Protein backbone atom coordinates (compact mmCIF):
# COMPACT_ATOMS: atom_id res chain seq x y z
CA UNK A 1 0.00 0.00 0.00
CA UNK A 2 1.43 3.36 -1.02
CA UNK A 3 1.51 5.86 1.85
CA UNK A 4 1.08 9.63 1.49
CA UNK A 5 4.47 11.37 1.64
CA UNK A 6 3.81 13.15 4.94
CA UNK A 7 2.58 9.94 6.58
CA UNK A 8 5.70 8.15 5.39
CA UNK A 9 7.90 10.93 6.76
CA UNK A 10 6.21 10.60 10.15
CA UNK A 11 6.44 6.81 10.20
CA UNK A 12 9.96 6.54 11.64
CA UNK A 13 12.34 8.49 13.85
CA UNK A 14 15.15 8.42 11.32
CA UNK A 15 12.92 9.99 8.69
CA UNK A 16 11.39 12.98 10.43
CA UNK A 17 14.08 13.85 12.98
CA UNK A 18 17.08 13.31 10.74
CA UNK A 19 15.42 15.53 8.14
CA UNK A 20 14.59 18.18 10.74
CA UNK A 21 18.15 18.03 12.07
CA UNK A 22 19.59 18.58 8.59
CA UNK A 23 17.24 21.42 7.71
CA UNK A 24 17.73 23.13 11.05
CA UNK A 25 21.52 22.80 10.87
CA UNK A 26 21.39 24.76 7.61
CA UNK A 27 18.77 27.36 8.55
CA UNK A 28 20.13 28.16 12.01
CA UNK A 29 23.67 28.56 10.67
CA UNK A 30 22.52 30.83 7.84
CA UNK A 31 20.90 33.10 10.44
CA UNK A 32 24.04 33.07 12.58
CA UNK A 33 26.25 33.75 9.56
CA UNK A 34 24.06 36.70 8.57
CA UNK A 35 24.42 38.24 12.03
CA UNK A 36 28.19 37.73 11.97
CA UNK A 37 28.49 39.16 8.46
CA UNK A 38 26.79 42.38 9.58
CA UNK A 39 29.23 42.68 12.49
CA UNK A 40 32.22 41.91 10.25
CA UNK A 41 31.12 44.72 7.94
CA UNK A 42 31.03 47.12 10.90
CA UNK A 43 27.25 47.25 11.20
CA UNK A 44 24.90 46.72 14.11
CA UNK A 45 21.56 44.94 14.41
CA UNK A 46 19.27 47.00 16.60
CA UNK A 47 16.48 44.45 17.09
CA UNK A 48 16.26 40.71 17.43
CA UNK A 49 13.28 38.40 17.98
CA UNK A 50 14.88 36.33 20.75
CA UNK A 51 15.46 37.44 24.33
CA UNK A 52 18.97 36.07 24.86
CA UNK A 53 22.26 37.33 23.43
CA UNK A 54 22.84 36.15 19.85
CA UNK A 55 25.82 34.05 20.92
CA UNK A 56 23.63 32.27 23.46
CA UNK A 57 20.87 31.68 20.91
CA UNK A 58 23.48 30.14 18.58
CA UNK A 59 24.91 27.90 21.30
CA UNK A 60 21.50 26.85 22.60
CA UNK A 61 20.01 25.98 19.24
CA UNK A 62 22.98 23.98 18.00
CA UNK A 63 23.10 21.93 21.22
CA UNK A 64 19.46 21.68 22.25
CA UNK A 65 17.85 22.18 18.85
CA UNK A 66 20.02 20.34 16.33
CA UNK A 67 21.59 17.99 18.91
CA UNK A 68 18.27 17.00 20.48
CA UNK A 69 16.72 16.25 17.07
CA UNK A 70 19.65 14.08 16.01
CA UNK A 71 19.70 12.13 19.28
CA UNK A 72 15.91 11.69 19.27
CA UNK A 73 15.98 10.34 15.73
CA UNK A 74 18.67 7.84 16.62
CA UNK A 75 17.07 6.60 19.85
CA UNK A 76 13.55 6.38 18.41
CA UNK A 77 14.98 4.27 15.58
CA UNK A 78 17.33 2.12 17.65
CA UNK A 79 15.19 1.43 20.73
CA UNK A 80 12.58 -0.72 18.92
CA UNK A 81 15.45 -2.82 17.52
CA UNK A 82 17.02 -3.15 20.97
CA UNK A 83 13.75 -4.31 22.51
CA UNK A 84 12.14 -6.20 19.64
CA UNK A 85 9.12 -3.91 19.64
CA UNK A 86 7.30 -1.97 16.96
CA UNK A 87 8.14 1.64 16.18
CA UNK A 88 5.90 4.38 17.55
CA UNK A 89 2.76 5.27 15.59
CA UNK A 90 2.57 8.19 13.19
CA UNK A 91 0.62 10.19 15.79
CA UNK A 92 3.55 10.03 18.21
CA UNK A 93 6.08 11.22 15.65
CA UNK A 94 3.72 14.00 14.58
CA UNK A 95 3.27 15.17 18.17
CA UNK A 96 6.96 14.83 19.09
CA UNK A 97 8.23 16.63 15.99
CA UNK A 98 5.61 19.33 16.49
CA UNK A 99 6.81 19.77 20.07
CA UNK A 100 10.43 20.07 18.89
CA UNK A 101 9.39 22.69 16.32
CA UNK A 102 7.37 24.58 18.93
CA UNK A 103 10.50 24.78 21.05
CA UNK A 104 12.46 26.30 18.19
CA UNK A 105 9.75 28.87 17.51
CA UNK A 106 9.39 29.73 21.21
CA UNK A 107 13.12 30.39 21.48
CA UNK A 108 13.18 32.43 18.26
CA UNK A 109 10.26 34.66 19.30
CA UNK A 110 11.17 34.69 23.00
CA UNK A 111 11.56 38.48 23.25
CA UNK A 112 7.76 38.80 23.14
CA UNK A 113 6.85 35.74 25.22
CA UNK A 114 6.89 35.06 28.99
CA UNK A 115 10.15 33.37 29.98
CA UNK A 116 8.23 30.63 31.79
CA UNK A 117 6.22 29.77 28.68
CA UNK A 118 9.37 29.65 26.54
CA UNK A 119 11.05 27.36 29.06
CA UNK A 120 8.08 25.01 29.39
CA UNK A 121 7.67 24.64 25.63
CA UNK A 122 11.39 24.19 24.95
CA UNK A 123 11.99 21.81 27.85
CA UNK A 124 9.06 19.51 27.03
CA UNK A 125 10.58 17.69 24.04
CA UNK A 126 13.32 15.55 25.58
CA UNK A 127 11.16 14.23 28.47
CA UNK A 128 8.53 13.06 25.98
CA UNK A 129 11.16 11.22 23.93
CA UNK A 130 12.89 9.82 27.01
CA UNK A 131 9.61 8.59 28.51
CA UNK A 132 8.77 6.74 25.31
CA UNK A 133 12.24 5.18 25.18
CA UNK A 134 12.03 4.23 28.87
CA UNK A 135 8.73 2.41 28.34
CA UNK A 136 10.39 0.37 25.58
CA UNK A 137 13.57 -0.33 27.53
CA UNK A 138 11.69 -1.48 30.63
CA UNK A 139 10.44 -4.44 28.60
CA UNK A 140 14.04 -5.64 28.27
CA UNK A 141 16.08 -3.51 30.66
CA UNK A 142 19.84 -3.49 30.15
CA UNK A 143 22.18 -1.26 32.18
CA UNK A 144 24.11 0.13 29.15
CA UNK A 145 20.90 1.30 27.53
CA UNK A 146 19.48 2.73 30.73
CA UNK A 147 22.75 4.66 31.13
CA UNK A 148 21.96 6.48 27.89
CA UNK A 149 18.75 7.82 29.42
CA UNK A 150 20.75 9.12 32.39
CA UNK A 151 22.93 11.11 29.97
CA UNK A 152 19.80 12.40 28.21
CA UNK A 153 18.70 13.68 31.63
CA UNK A 154 22.03 15.52 31.90
CA UNK A 155 21.45 17.04 28.47
CA UNK A 156 18.00 18.21 29.54
CA UNK A 157 19.44 19.61 32.78
CA UNK A 158 21.86 21.75 30.79
CA UNK A 159 18.91 23.23 28.94
CA UNK A 160 17.15 23.87 32.25
CA UNK A 161 20.22 25.71 33.56
CA UNK A 162 20.19 27.94 30.48
CA UNK A 163 16.52 28.84 30.97
CA UNK A 164 16.99 29.50 34.69
CA UNK A 165 19.90 31.78 33.89
CA UNK A 166 17.93 33.68 31.24
CA UNK A 167 15.09 34.16 33.71
CA UNK A 168 17.53 35.52 36.31
CA UNK A 169 16.55 32.82 38.78
CA UNK A 170 19.76 30.80 39.14
CA UNK A 171 22.88 29.73 37.33
CA UNK A 172 24.81 30.95 34.32
CA UNK A 173 23.32 30.14 30.90
CA UNK A 174 26.84 29.64 29.54
CA UNK A 175 27.30 26.86 32.06
CA UNK A 176 24.14 25.22 30.78
CA UNK A 177 25.53 25.24 27.25
CA UNK A 178 28.74 23.59 28.51
CA UNK A 179 26.75 20.93 30.35
CA UNK A 180 24.70 20.20 27.23
CA UNK A 181 27.73 19.99 24.96
CA UNK A 182 29.63 17.70 27.33
CA UNK A 183 26.53 15.51 27.67
CA UNK A 184 26.34 15.15 23.87
CA UNK A 185 30.07 14.37 23.81
CA UNK A 186 29.48 11.69 26.45
CA UNK A 187 26.74 10.15 24.32
CA UNK A 188 29.23 9.94 21.45
CA UNK A 189 31.80 8.28 23.70
CA UNK A 190 29.13 5.71 24.64
CA UNK A 191 27.27 5.16 21.37
CA UNK A 192 30.15 5.86 19.01
CA UNK A 193 32.24 3.50 21.11
CA UNK A 194 29.72 0.75 20.35
CA UNK A 195 28.89 1.27 16.72
CA UNK A 196 32.31 2.21 15.35
CA UNK A 197 34.15 -1.05 16.18
CA UNK A 198 31.01 -3.15 15.62
CA UNK A 199 30.26 -1.78 12.15
CA UNK A 200 33.92 -1.98 11.20
CA UNK A 201 34.13 -5.58 12.32
CA UNK A 202 30.98 -6.51 10.41
CA UNK A 203 32.29 -4.92 7.22
CA UNK A 204 35.67 -6.63 7.50
CA UNK A 205 34.10 -10.03 8.17
CA UNK A 206 31.77 -9.60 5.19
CA UNK A 207 34.85 -8.81 3.13
CA UNK A 208 36.36 -12.15 4.10
CA UNK A 209 38.74 -11.01 6.82
CA UNK A 210 39.15 -13.38 9.76
CA UNK A 211 42.15 -11.95 11.61
CA UNK A 212 43.16 -8.52 12.83
CA UNK A 213 39.56 -7.56 13.55
CA UNK A 214 38.63 -4.60 15.77
CA UNK A 215 38.70 -5.14 19.52
CA UNK A 216 36.90 -3.10 22.14
CA UNK A 217 38.61 -3.70 25.52
CA UNK A 218 36.15 -3.22 28.36
CA UNK A 219 38.63 -1.53 30.76
CA UNK A 220 39.33 1.19 28.18
CA UNK A 221 35.61 1.61 27.53
CA UNK A 222 35.00 2.18 31.24
CA UNK A 223 37.98 4.53 31.45
CA UNK A 224 36.48 6.66 28.67
CA UNK A 225 32.78 6.49 29.55
CA UNK A 226 32.94 7.07 33.31
CA UNK A 227 34.77 10.44 33.22
CA UNK A 228 32.84 11.49 30.10
CA UNK A 229 29.59 11.22 32.05
CA UNK A 230 31.13 12.66 35.21
CA UNK A 231 32.32 15.83 33.42
CA UNK A 232 28.85 17.38 32.76
CA UNK A 233 27.61 15.98 36.07
CA UNK A 234 30.40 17.84 37.90
CA UNK A 235 29.41 21.10 36.22
CA UNK A 236 25.76 20.52 37.08
CA UNK A 237 26.70 19.84 40.71
CA UNK A 238 28.51 23.17 40.89
CA UNK A 239 32.00 21.72 41.35
CA UNK A 240 34.99 23.83 40.26
CA UNK A 241 35.25 23.99 36.44
CA UNK A 242 38.81 22.69 36.55
CA UNK A 243 37.48 19.39 37.90
CA UNK A 244 35.02 18.97 35.04
CA UNK A 245 37.70 19.93 32.53
CA UNK A 246 40.08 17.38 34.01
CA UNK A 247 37.45 14.66 33.72
CA UNK A 248 36.79 15.64 30.10
CA UNK A 249 40.51 15.44 29.36
CA UNK A 250 40.80 11.98 30.92
CA UNK A 251 37.79 10.78 28.93
CA UNK A 252 39.32 12.11 25.73
CA UNK A 253 42.67 10.42 26.32
CA UNK A 254 41.00 7.07 27.04
CA UNK A 255 38.77 7.46 23.98
CA UNK A 256 41.82 8.11 21.79
CA UNK A 257 43.42 4.97 23.18
CA UNK A 258 40.32 2.96 22.21
CA UNK A 259 40.75 3.98 18.58
CA UNK A 260 44.06 2.11 18.39
CA UNK A 261 42.19 -1.20 18.62
CA UNK A 262 39.50 -0.45 16.02
CA UNK A 263 41.48 -0.91 12.77
CA UNK A 264 40.68 2.47 11.24
CA UNK A 265 43.25 1.88 8.49
CA UNK A 266 41.15 -0.91 7.04
CA UNK A 267 38.23 1.49 6.41
CA UNK A 268 39.94 4.08 4.19
CA UNK A 269 38.11 2.92 1.07
CA UNK A 270 34.69 3.15 2.71
CA UNK A 271 33.63 6.69 3.69
CA UNK A 272 30.65 5.44 5.67
CA UNK A 273 33.11 3.66 7.97
CA UNK A 274 36.10 5.98 8.16
CA UNK A 275 33.84 8.88 9.05
CA UNK A 276 32.90 7.05 12.28
CA UNK A 277 36.55 6.65 13.25
CA UNK A 278 37.41 10.23 12.34
CA UNK A 279 34.39 11.64 14.18
CA UNK A 280 35.08 9.58 17.30
CA UNK A 281 38.72 10.68 17.22
CA UNK A 282 37.91 14.39 16.87
CA UNK A 283 35.32 14.11 19.65
CA UNK A 284 38.06 12.62 21.84
CA UNK A 285 40.49 15.36 20.76
CA UNK A 286 37.89 17.98 21.62
CA UNK A 287 37.56 16.53 25.12
CA UNK A 288 41.35 16.60 25.53
CA UNK A 289 41.42 20.25 24.41
CA UNK A 290 38.63 21.10 26.88
CA UNK A 291 40.73 19.48 29.60
CA UNK A 292 43.82 21.44 28.57
CA UNK A 293 41.86 24.71 28.46
CA UNK A 294 40.64 24.05 32.00
CA UNK A 295 44.29 23.91 33.06
CA UNK A 296 45.03 27.19 31.33
CA UNK A 297 46.47 25.76 28.12
CA UNK A 298 44.69 26.96 24.99
CA UNK A 299 41.32 28.55 24.34
CA UNK A 300 38.18 27.02 25.83
CA UNK A 301 36.07 28.49 23.01
CA UNK A 302 38.35 26.88 20.44
CA UNK A 303 38.18 23.55 22.29
CA UNK A 304 34.40 23.61 22.57
CA UNK A 305 34.04 24.29 18.85
CA UNK A 306 36.36 21.41 17.94
CA UNK A 307 34.15 19.27 20.15
CA UNK A 308 30.90 20.71 18.81
CA UNK A 309 31.69 20.77 15.09
CA UNK A 310 34.29 18.08 14.55
CA UNK A 311 33.05 15.67 17.20
CA UNK A 312 29.32 16.08 17.79
CA UNK A 313 28.51 17.50 14.37
CA UNK A 314 30.54 14.94 12.48
CA UNK A 315 29.42 11.91 14.48
CA UNK A 316 25.74 12.81 14.30
CA UNK A 317 26.10 13.35 10.55
CA UNK A 318 27.83 9.97 10.23
CA UNK A 319 25.26 8.06 12.26
CA UNK A 320 22.24 9.82 10.76
CA UNK A 321 23.33 9.13 7.19
CA UNK A 322 24.21 5.50 7.90
CA UNK A 323 21.01 4.81 9.83
CA UNK A 324 18.87 6.48 7.16
CA UNK A 325 20.41 4.37 4.41
CA UNK A 326 20.27 1.13 6.36
CA UNK A 327 16.76 1.47 7.74
CA UNK A 328 15.38 2.49 4.36
CA UNK A 329 16.66 -0.72 2.77
CA UNK A 330 19.48 0.92 0.84
CA UNK A 331 23.07 -0.22 0.52
CA UNK A 332 25.42 1.04 3.21
CA UNK A 333 27.41 3.11 0.76
CA UNK A 334 27.55 6.86 1.27
CA UNK A 335 26.39 8.86 -1.78
CA UNK A 336 29.18 11.03 -3.16
CA UNK A 337 27.59 14.19 -1.82
CA UNK A 338 27.41 12.71 1.68
CA UNK A 339 31.00 11.43 1.47
CA UNK A 340 32.05 14.97 0.55
CA UNK A 341 30.12 16.25 3.55
CA UNK A 342 32.07 13.85 5.80
CA UNK A 343 35.32 15.37 4.55
CA UNK A 344 34.19 18.98 4.95
CA UNK A 345 33.21 18.76 8.63
CA UNK A 346 36.80 18.57 9.98
CA UNK A 347 37.71 21.54 7.78
CA UNK A 348 34.85 23.50 9.36
CA UNK A 349 36.15 22.58 12.83
CA UNK A 350 39.68 23.62 11.85
CA UNK A 351 38.51 26.98 10.51
CA UNK A 352 36.51 27.66 13.68
CA UNK A 353 39.48 26.63 15.84
CA UNK A 354 41.64 29.15 13.97
CA UNK A 355 39.03 31.85 14.47
CA UNK A 356 39.07 31.30 18.23
CA UNK A 357 42.80 30.69 18.67
CA UNK A 358 44.02 33.75 16.73
CA UNK A 359 42.03 36.99 17.21
CA UNK A 360 43.02 38.38 13.81
CA UNK A 361 41.45 35.29 12.23
CA UNK A 362 38.13 35.60 14.08
CA UNK A 363 35.76 36.77 11.37
CA UNK A 364 37.43 34.93 8.45
CA UNK A 365 37.66 31.73 10.47
CA UNK A 366 34.15 31.86 11.89
CA UNK A 367 32.50 32.81 8.60
CA UNK A 368 34.39 30.08 6.72
CA UNK A 369 33.49 27.51 9.37
CA UNK A 370 29.82 28.46 9.13
CA UNK A 371 29.85 28.34 5.33
CA UNK A 372 31.38 24.87 5.39
CA UNK A 373 28.82 23.72 8.00
CA UNK A 374 25.99 24.96 5.76
CA UNK A 375 27.51 23.13 2.78
CA UNK A 376 27.86 19.93 4.82
CA UNK A 377 24.25 19.74 5.89
CA UNK A 378 22.89 21.01 2.59
CA UNK A 379 24.72 18.14 0.85
CA UNK A 380 23.40 15.67 3.43
CA UNK A 381 19.80 16.93 3.27
CA UNK A 382 19.58 17.09 -0.51
CA UNK A 383 21.29 13.73 -1.07
CA UNK A 384 19.08 11.91 1.45
CA UNK A 385 15.83 13.76 0.71
CA UNK A 386 14.39 10.75 -1.19
CA UNK A 387 15.34 8.51 1.73
CA UNK A 388 13.37 10.59 4.22
CA UNK A 389 10.30 11.06 2.06
CA UNK A 390 10.29 8.04 -0.21
CA UNK A 391 9.44 4.36 0.22
CA UNK A 392 11.96 1.76 1.31
CA UNK A 393 14.26 0.67 -1.47
CA UNK A 394 12.86 -2.85 -1.12
CA UNK A 395 9.36 -1.52 -1.73
CA UNK A 396 8.26 -2.52 1.78
Judge whether 30 lies within some domain: yes
Judge whether 97 lies within some domain: yes
Structural domain that includes position 96: 5-389
The pTM for the full model equals 0.96
- Rounded to 10 degrees, what is the CA torsion of 265, 267, 269, 273? -140
Judge whether 124 lies within some domain: yes
Judge whether 394 lies within some domain: no
Judge whether 44 lies within some domain: yes
Query: In sequence order, what DSSP letters do the residues of 303-361 get, joined into one string?
Result: HHHIIIIIIIIHHHHHHHHHHHHHHTT--S---HHHHHHHHHHHHHHHHHHHHHHSGGG
In this model, does residue 1 exceed pLDDT 70? no
In this model, does residue 396 exceed pLDDT 60? no
* 233-238, long-range: CB < 8 A, 24+ apart: 233/154, 235/175, 235/178, 235/179, 235/182, 236/154, 236/157, 236/158, 236/161, 236/179
CATH code of 147's domain: 1.20.210.10
In this model, does residue 3 exceed pLDDT 80? no
At 5, is the pLDDT very low, low, confident or very high (cuts 50, 70, 90)? confident
What average pLDDT does range 326-342 have in this prediction?
A: 96
Domain tally for the chain? 1
Judge whether 28 lies within some domain: yes
In this model, does residue 248 exceed pLDDT 70? yes
Amino acid sequence: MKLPALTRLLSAGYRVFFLLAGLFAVISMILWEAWLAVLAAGGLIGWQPFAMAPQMWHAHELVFGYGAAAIAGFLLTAAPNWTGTRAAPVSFFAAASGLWLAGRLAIWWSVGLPALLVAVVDLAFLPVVAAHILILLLKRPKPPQMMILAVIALLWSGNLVMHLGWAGLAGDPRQGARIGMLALAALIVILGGRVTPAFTRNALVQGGRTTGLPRNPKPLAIAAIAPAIAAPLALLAGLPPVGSAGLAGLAGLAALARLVFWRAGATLGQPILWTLHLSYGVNALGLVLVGAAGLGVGSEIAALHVLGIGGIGAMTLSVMSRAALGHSGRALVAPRAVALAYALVPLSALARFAGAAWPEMYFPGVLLAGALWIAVFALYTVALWPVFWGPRATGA
